Amino acid sequence: MADHLTPTTVFKCLADETRVRLMLLITREEELCVCELTCALDESQPKISRHLAQLRTCGLLADRRQGQWVYYRLHPNLPGWVHNVLTTVLEANKYWLTPDSKRLEGMGDRPERVAACC
């Protein structure tokens, strides 16, 4: 699905502050679980999960399950131009994510990631 992304599709998917914040945090961290995103954005788990599902349906995110945790990362087939847009927005707006970043960094008991096997 990610290989069929158009600018209109991408910008419609990102036309919500919560979804933009999620995408920029995931771009910065490479992979985050729902509990980390809930803490970072200081929002309810159902709200975060709903927005993550929308981003996954759009083809911007991929997920993987590890035990009780579900981790989200940028879709591996995301076109380069989408990566460039996200990286540029992230670099130019780090201050905008500062409160979210501080909450994430201060989160205790972050889940351990198991390296992907073979």
pLDDT digits 0-9 by tens, 59-88: 999 999 988 889 999 999 999 999 999 999
Query: Sorting pLDDT into bands at 50, 70 and 90, what band is 24?
Result: very high
pTM summary value: 0.89
In this prediction, residues 10-32 reach a mean pLDDT of 96
Structure tokens at 23: 């995408």
3-class secondary structure, 69: strand
> Residue 117 above 60 pLDDT?
no
Separation of CA 97 from chain center: 13
